[in-house]
Amino acid sequence: MKKIVSILTITTLTVGWWGCKKDSDFLDVQPTTFLTTDQVFSDPNLALTVLSDLYNRQEDLTSLDGYLQPYSNNTEPGWRTMADFSESFPSENGSSYIVSRTGWGYDAWRLDWTRAYTYIRELNLFLARDSASTGLSVADRTRFYAEGRFLRAIFYFEMARRMGGVPLITRTLDYDYKGNVTSLQFPRAKESDMYDFIISEAEAIKNDLPSDINEKSRASKGAALAMECRAALYAASIAKYGAGTPSVALPGGEVGIDAAKATGYYNAALTAAKEIISGAAGPYALYNNGGDLSDNFANLFLDKASAETIFMEDFKTGGKTHAFTTNDQPYSFSDEGGDAGRLNPSLNLAEAYEKLDNTYAPFATVDGGGNPIYYTNLQDIFAGRDARLAGTILLPDGTFKGKTVDIWAGYVLADGSIFTSDEAGHHKTLPGTSTPVQVVGTDGPVNGLELRSQSGFYIRKYLDPTTGSGRRGQGSTVAFIRYRFAEVLLNAAEAAFELGDPATAAGYMNQVRARAGLTTPLVAADITFDRIVHERRVELAFEGHILFDMKRWRLAHKVWDGAPTGLADLVSNIGVATKHSTQPWGLWPYKLYNPASPDNGKWLFKETLPALVTGTNRFLFGNYYSLIGNDVIAANPKIIRQPNQ
Amino acid sequence: MKISFRYIGVIALVASMAACKKDNYAGPSSLLSGHVVYQGEAIQLERNQVPFQIYQYGFGKVGPIGQTFGQDGAYSATLFNGNYKIIVPNGQGPFLWKQTAAGDPDTVNVSLNGNKTLDLEVMPYYMIRNPQITGSGGKVTGTFKAEKIITDINAKDIERVSLYINKSQFVSGGDNIAVTDLNGTDIVDVNNIALTVTVPALTPTQTYVYARIGLKIAGLEDMIFSPLQKVSF
């Protein structure tokens, strides 16, 4: 009995004591499944996780892991983001539309409007919360704030170069649920306002960001300046060259920039470039580790510690990886059987790489009399060229992962006829012999045979030699470089040239060219607009510049004019900015089989238009600025349509 | 259990009867068609390159029905009865579409009630007059006169003239097997321009080609053409 009483007493006491606790304390339980805004913005590591999500949502038209297609949940694979514009041939049957279409829709290259402005809103929210936070140290808060503004500026840059002026929203907008949305409808900003915004943001934040060249995947002072430099250059060239296409403009300035502003923008670009070149943002330099110049150029994209990289999208095993190497590795020694060889650079691009004496020439396939030229070794035809040729493109007989790619299209017999097979690596009996021999390379080229080279080339840039990088499960961790020092030099060269100082321009350009083995310096008189265009094309191939460069120079409608590219067109006018390039050609190696000839067993080459190339690239005036959809215009009547659409 | 089966039967019957009710609207059935013309003469274009837009009002969101003219300047659209407006966006076509004072494309109003043929009158910058295309000895020769229609401040120069030939009936800058160009600055007499193009080897062999003369106007991307002609050579 006593025992029961004591238990009762204790229980009563406990319950009573418990009940004394204030109800509000009892009910106020911290949730364990999410973090509040205050919690996140009082811990620098948590705030950084928010920021890293924002970094990850940047958009690139060209990237190694591709992008989510606008208005869809399908992913555009990384390799295909580089496969257009006649710079390469897509060796995948499902992607042959790229070379069979006759141009681009007005909606090409646009951003998903809803996704874009959701992202902008979240950036603005981040900025508001970061600046309101009390738990973060001032240093952290300032840096995060600058990074948020950097991401917002670079995203508006991406929108501007695709769509021209768009509404510039720099604060979060909230709906009051009263049925009237006019306070949320903003008109498009002027195109010049977009670039002014990017330039002023970069200037405002550059000193809040670290001047540290080891900070490559987060914003740094160098990244802000490189963005400013490129943006100013874009604005300048749109102002200058836009005058040549008066129909690509809107009366309100949403598209098109007044020609009088060109000089100011060129000066801004040159100033920003000089600030990086002078080392004020850190000791950035061209990647030059000696050894073979082509290997050095290829390694620039593989070495994440390179002093040339200013800002990159990084990848990491166990985190984010990409399938670029899986999709583009040579077929004959692919890690993944039937997954290989999709991106084949075109002859149009390959022949643009100069000879070492700074002159342009097509690859010599025939002599003056039209007879084929025979080469002892497959690579002899490529000898004496810009080192970036073999650094960007995996040539026939080129090596990757210590193995040699096997690209050749067949035998040419004594009567000039071709003896080959439609199956890569096939063995057949040559006429007059009895032993079957291989008659075509295991890496192609065979017309229509996907995943092997169909142009005679494979891509080398970004191709990852790490063991297992070609496996689907493992993937590659090669980074995509968004800004690098060589581009800054070329930006500076272009700005200096346009400001009437070709000698300075030559100085900047020669640095980039010397790294590629072009050691004969260009002098001031050599620097022409064509030279500027050419140098960017060969240095920055497959880095996401070709479309935007052609757009800002208003060359796109001339280069991609819709007329088929004949052989005579292909081999003439190399190095001329307006040379048209509407179909990707290939260069197919053949072996001579003619036991009676001294040239028996030697190589000859034929320029070949892959059979799947039936369309031509035609860039219309309406393509200069991507479509803003009717849904957007219907929801906000203040948005005006793009010109020529 | 028996009962429940009967219920299922009844429910299925009711459901299928409900499905018999018409649950759809009739599709559009009124055909609007015509050509883009100058003084009654159809303007010849490149296929799928010159767009026009049809708007219908009264349905809230405003979005155009976008289409392109055919090679012979023809267009057609199957629509519901109602009031529509048609425009050609600025900068499109080798012609000047009427504009409002604000510089927007002016509208052609259409009241549709049953099939209707409506030609769209425009002002071309140039017309190709009296085109004569003949073939002989593996060559095709075309002669014509380029008449300048717009001569006021909107006038534009000839960038080039071209003679296109193709194996099929689609003949233009994008669809051709051979072309001869003559730059506008090299034209001696606009009243008498002659172009000759050599027919390349054709596989499979055919003894005729289709030919058109095109005229490119400086600053515009769309060309104006002569009517399609079948030529034996």
Q: Which amino acid is at A536?
A: R
Tens-place pLDDT, residues A525-567: 999 999 999 999 999 999 999 999 999 999 999 999 888 888 9
Partner B, chain A 242-261, Cβ-Cβ below 8 Å: 246-247, 251
Instruction: Give the model's confidence band at A28: pLDDT under 50 very low, under 70 low, under 90 confident, else very high.
Output: confident
Judge contact between B187 and B158, C-beta under 8 A: yes
B229 and A CB contact within 8 Å: no
Residue B3 reports pLDDT greater than 80: no
pLDDT at A444: 82
B221 and A CB contact within 8 Å: yes
CA distance B61 to chain A (A): 5
Q: Residue count of chain A, please give it.
A: 645
Q: Which amino acid is at B20?
A: C
pLDDT at A24: 73
Instruction: Give the model's confidence band at A582: pLDDT under 50 very low, under 70 low, under 90 confident, else very high.
Output: very high
Judge contact between B120 and B36, C-beta under 8 A: yes
Domain ranges of chain B: 30-122, 125-232
Percentage with pLDDT > 90 across chain B: 21
Residue A2 reports pLDDT greater than 80: no
pLDDT at A32: 82
Residue of A nearest to B222 (CA): A620
Say if the Cβ atoms of B61 and A620 lie within 8 Å.
no
**Chain B residues within an 8 Å CB radius of A631:** 61, 63
Residue A19 reports pLDDT greater than 80: no
**Chain A residues within an 8 Å CB radius of B219:** 246-247
Say if the Cβ atoms of B61 and A630 lie within 8 Å.
yes
Of B62, B63, B221, the CB nearest to A621: B221
Tens-place pLDDT, residues A154-211: 999 999 999 999 999 999 999 989 888 888 999 999 999 999 999 999 999 999 999 9
Percentage with pLDDT > 90 across chain A: 71
Considering Cα of A616, then A622, then A628, then A634, what sign does the dihedral take? negative
Tens-place pLDDT, residues A198-216: 999 999 999 999 999 999 9
Tens-place pLDDT, residues A431-472: 888 899 999 999 989 998 889 999 999 999 999 998 888 888
A418 SS3 class: strand
- What's the mean pLDDT in A482-497? 95
Indicate the average pLDDT of chain A.
91
Residues 6+ apart with CB under 8 A from B154: B96, B125
Instruction: Give the model's confidence band at B91: pLDDT under 50 very low, under 70 low, under 90 confident, else very high.
Output: confident
Residues 6+ apart with CB under 8 A from A14: none
B229 SS3 class: strand
Say if the Cβ atoms of B174 and A563 lie within 8 Å.
yes
B91 SS3 class: coil
Task: Report phi then psi at B148, rounded to 5.
Answer: -85, 115
Domain ranges of chain A: 61-109+322-472+557-624
Q: Residue count of chain B, please give it.
A: 233
pLDDT at B187: 87
Residue B2 reports pLDDT greater than 60: no
Residues 6+ apart with CB under 8 A from A194: A156, A157, A159, A160, A164, A165, A166, A168
Among the listed residues B175, B168, B178, the one whose alpha carbon sits nearest the alpha carbon of residue B140? B178
Residue to test with chain A: of B162, B164, B221, most A Cβ within 10 A: B221
Judge contact between A446 and A408, C-beta under 8 A: no
For residues B15 and A84, the model is more confident at: A84
B103 and A CB contact within 8 Å: yes
User: Rounded to whole angstroms, how far apart are CA atoms B53 and B63?
Assistant: 9
| DSSP helix, strand, coil percent of chain B (3-state; round to 5) | 10, 45, 45
User: Rounded to whole angstroms, how far apart are CA atoms A101 and A569?
Assistant: 20
Say if the Cβ atoms of A633 and B63 lie within 8 Å.
yes
ipTM: 0.77
pLDDT at A31: 80
Residues 6+ apart with CB under 8 A from B14: none
Q: Give, for B183, the enclosing helix (H) or strand (E).
A: strand B178-183
Among the listed residues A198, A182, A180, A462, the one whose alpha carbon sits nearest the alpha carbon of residue A345? A462
Instruction: Give the model's confidence band at A30: pLDDT under 50 very low, under 70 low, under 90 confident, else very high.
Output: confident
B91 and A CB contact within 8 Å: yes
Judge contact between B100 and B19, C-beta under 8 A: no
Q: Which amino acid is at A79?
A: W
Residue B5 reports pLDDT greater than 90: no
Tens-place pLDDT, residues B12-24: 777 666 665 566 7
User: Number of A:B CB contacts under 8 A?
Assistant: 45
Residue B44 has what DSSP assignment? Answer: B
Of A564, A630, A643, the CB nearest to B91: A643
Q: How many CB atoms lie within 10 A of CB A125?
A: 15
User: Rounded to whole angstroms, how far apart are CA atoms A621 and A554?
Assistant: 9
> What is the Cα gyration radius of chain A?
29
Percentage with pLDDT > 70 across chain A: 98
pLDDT at A358: 92
Indicate the average pLDDT of chain B.
85
A36-40, A136-140, A502-506, A550-554: lowest mean pLDDT where? A36-40
User: Rounded to whole angstroms, how far apart are CA atoms A186 and A181?
Assistant: 10
What six digits make up the tokens of A608? Answer: 């070949």
A267 and B CB contact within 8 Å: no
Say if the Cβ atoms of A645 and B89 lie within 8 Å.
yes
Q: Which amino acid is at A309?
A: T
CATH topology of domain B30-122: Immunoglobulin-like (2.60.40)
User: Rounded to whole angstroms, how far apart are CA atoms B67 and B88?
Assistant: 10
Residue A220 reports pLDDT greater than 90: yes
Instruction: Give the model's confidence band at A263: pLDDT under 50 very low, under 70 low, under 90 confident, else very high.
Output: very high
Which numeric CATH code is attached to B125-232?
2.60.40.2060
Judge contact between A144 and A130, C-beta under 8 A: yes
User: Rounded to whole angstroms, how far apart are CA atoms A323 and A581?
Assistant: 29
Instruction: Give the model's confidence band at B90: pLDDT under 50 very low, under 70 low, under 90 confident, else very high.
Output: confident
Tokens 């690579």 locate to A379
For residues A405 and B5, the model is more confident at: A405
- What's the mean pLDDT in A235-256? 92
Residue of B nearest to A640 (CA): B104
Query: Nearest 5°: CA angle at B28, between B25 and B30?
Result: 140
- What's the mean pLDDT in A573-592? 92
Tens-place pLDDT, residues B122-140: 889 999 999 999 988 889 9
**Chain A residues within an 8 Å CB radius of B63:** 630-631, 633-634
Residue A309 reports pLDDT greater than 80: yes
CA distance A370 to chain B (A): 19
User: Rounded to whole angstroms, how far apart are CA atoms A252 and B104?
Assistant: 13
CA distance A562 to chain B (A): 6
Residue to test with chain B: of A250, A620, A632, most B Cβ within 10 A: A620
Mode of pairing for the β-strands spanning A88-90 and A75-76: unpaired
Say if the Cβ atoms of A631 and B179 lie within 8 Å.
no
pLDDT at A643: 87
Say if the Cβ atoms of B62 and A633 lie within 8 Å.
yes
Residues 6+ apart with CB under 8 A from A178: none
pLDDT at A161: 94
pLDDT at A20: 59
Angle A262-277/A221-241 helices, nearest 10 degrees? 150
User: Rounded to whole angstroms, how far apart are CA atoms A561 and A558?
Assistant: 5
Tell whether omega for the bond before B200 is within 30 degrees of 0, i.e. cis: no
Judge contact between B171 and B165, C-beta under 8 A: yes
Tens-place pLDDT, residues B171-225: 988 788 888 888 888 888 888 899 999 988 888 888 899 999 999 998 888 899 9
B227 and A CB contact within 8 Å: no
Residue B10 reports pLDDT greater than 90: no
What six digits make up the tokens of B155? Answer: 């006038």
Q: Which amino acid is at A315?
A: F
Task: Report phi then psi at A94, rounded to 5.
Answer: -70, -10
